């Protein structure tokens, strides 16, 4: 896994650097074409009617108005179902024309490139256009020096702390948002309590969820120095002593220290978020989330919360670690070059400077474009500024062609540990045995 790639790229969100120009395209201009384009998208931020697809709908309406004869069909797909639905569509050779890349996964899927279903976009961008993207954002969508998508946003995972619960319990938040593992455990114990004195715990210090394609829990697994695969991506390394020790600590939050609810480690993403943010619940003081959650808590009146952003606890390495990613859009294989040009034009339309600025302010992401960052989307957002400081500690999820299959097996065994069914050592070793079938292919 190329740790320094994401580190350098995400740091570039706030430090403008030169882009290495490995593309030398002559830009293709879309010609007149009429017909239907099928676009998949997943929920974004809600409008006043709680419509989480309003942004894409407005982009479609504006594009159609400027392109008579072009009809864009929007297919709404939950993020958690996106990968599987795309696999089914590809198997049936009935893929969409355009689809999003989940920012949690962080990059294009090499398996889709190997299947030949993703269009290269080199010829649709000038050097000047490419120079507006941060280098790491482009790298996430680059394979063998060809561009296979348009990055539209970047993210980093961070810890969100409900300060009202900290104050209720008289617990001081970590100074500057930094804490060691021992300090973290001590505070989680103090934040776990019986609020209504009925003899049952009402509020827990910490919780999170586990499911394929999502990595809120993974910085805990990496805090002692472990990484899931070797640098060259050929060996499974999540059964190292560093990985086992980290997972044992992580599981101890639930089974030894009793600072996490029994639901911790399940796959109920919505329920986990509500437990932290919903004012009628707020039964968990601390949860890790990707930066989109910052915008959700800040911008939605339903979730207005007195909170702060902190780093993951520091383990044996003595260094903070987190996970980052880059979201965007990919164009699927086209038989008509004129249609392809229009699809790419729409993809560029929804990924331009203004839209990336809107994403940063409304969706809790970092722009993939320098021009969007220069507009100052976080001028009045101390939470996103604090999250940006964690970019220097961010590592990427491995860019392996069979990563979805490898990830699925690791996550399944992690769930068994958090269910109390397997030890950390047994689970990580068994995950490695299953993952080995998908390596070196």
pLDDT per residue as tens digits for the range 310-362:
999 999 999 999 999 899 999 999 999 999 999 999 999 999 999 999 999 99
What is the pLDDT, as a whole number, of residue 2? Answer: 44
Positions of the chain with pLDDT under 50: 1-26
> What is the reported pLDDT for 139?
87
CA dist 293 to 306, 369, 395, Å? 14, 21, 19
Grouping H, G, I as helix, E, B as strand and the rest as coil, residue 332 is: strand
| d(C-alpha 417, C-alpha 205), whole Å | 19
Report pLDDT for 1.
45
Of the options 3.90.110.10, 3.40.50.1000, 3.40.50.300, 3.40.190.10, the CATH number for the domain spanning 157-323+400-438:
3.40.190.10
Neighbours of 294 (CB within 10 A): 23
CB-based contact 270:263 (threshold 8 Å): no
CA distance 414 to 371: 40
Across the chain, mean pLDDT equals 91
Secondary structure of residue 184 in the 3-state scheme: helix
What is residue 3's predicted lDDT score, i.e. its pLDDT?
44
Residue 153 near residue 353 (C-beta atoms within 8 A): no
Tokens encoding 378: 């976080």
Q: Is the CATH code 3.40.50.11540 the one for domain 23-154+326-378?
A: no
Given this chain, do its domains 23-154+326-378 and 157-323+400-438 carry the same CATH topology? yes
What residues does each domain of the chain span? 23-154+326-378, 157-323+400-438
Q: Model pTM?
A: 0.81
Confidence (pLDDT) at 255: 98
């Amino acid at each position: 896994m190329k740790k320094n790639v994401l580190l350098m790229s995400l740091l570039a969100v706030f430090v403008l650097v030169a882009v290495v120009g490995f593309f030398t395209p002559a830009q293709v201009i879309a010609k007149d074409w009429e017909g239907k384009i099928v676009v998949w998208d997943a929920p974004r931020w809600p409008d006043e009617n709680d419509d989480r697809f309003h942004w894409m709908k407005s982009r479609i309406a504006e594009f159609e108005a400027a392109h008579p004869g072009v009809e864009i069909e929007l297919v709404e797909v939950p993020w958690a179902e996106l990968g599987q639905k795309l696999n089914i569509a590809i198997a049936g050779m009935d893929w969409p024309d355009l689809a999003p890349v989940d920012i949690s996964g962080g990059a294009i899927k090499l398996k889709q490139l190997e299947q030949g279903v993703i269009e290269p976009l080199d010829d649709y961008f000038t050097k000047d256009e490419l120079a507006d993207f941060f280098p790491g954002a482009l790298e996430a969508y680059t394979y063998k020096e060809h561009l296979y998508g348009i990055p539209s946003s970047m993210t980093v995972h961070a810890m969100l702390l409900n300060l009202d619960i900290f104050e209720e319990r008289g617990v001081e938040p970590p100074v500057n948002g930094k804490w060691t593992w021992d300090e973290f455990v001590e505070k989680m114990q103090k934040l776990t309590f019986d609020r209504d004195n009925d003899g049952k715990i009402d509020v827990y210090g910490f919780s999170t969820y586990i499911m394929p394609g999502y990595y809120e829990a993974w910085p805990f697994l990496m805090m002692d120095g472990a990484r899931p695969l070797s640098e060259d991506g050929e060996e499974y390394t999540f059964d190292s002593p560093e990985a086992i020790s980290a997972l044992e600590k992580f599981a101890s939050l639930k089974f030894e220290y009793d600072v996490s609810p029994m639901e911790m480690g399940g796959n109920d993403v919505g329920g986990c978020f509500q437990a932290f943010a919903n004012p009628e619940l707020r039964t968990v003081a601390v949860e890790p989330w990707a930066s989109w959650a910052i915008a959700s808590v800040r911008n939605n009146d339903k979730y207005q919360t007195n909170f702060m952003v902190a780093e993951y606890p520091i383990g044996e390495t003595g260094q903070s670690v987190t996970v980052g990613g880059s979201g965007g859009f990919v164009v699927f294989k086209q038989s008509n070059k004129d249609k392809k040009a229009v699809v790419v034009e729409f993809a560029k339309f929804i990924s331009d400077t203004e839209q990336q600025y809107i994403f940063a302010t409304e969706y809790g992401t970092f722009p993939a474009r320098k021009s969007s960052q220069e507009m100052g989307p976080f001028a009045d957002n101390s939470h996103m500024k604090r999250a940006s400081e964690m970019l220097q500690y961010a590592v990427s999820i491995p860019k392996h062609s069979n990563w979805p299959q490898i990830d699925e097996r690791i996550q399944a065994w992690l769930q068994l540990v958090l269910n109390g069914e397997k030890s950390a050592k047994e689970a990580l070793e068994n995950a490695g045995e299953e993952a080995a079938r998908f390596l070196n292919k």
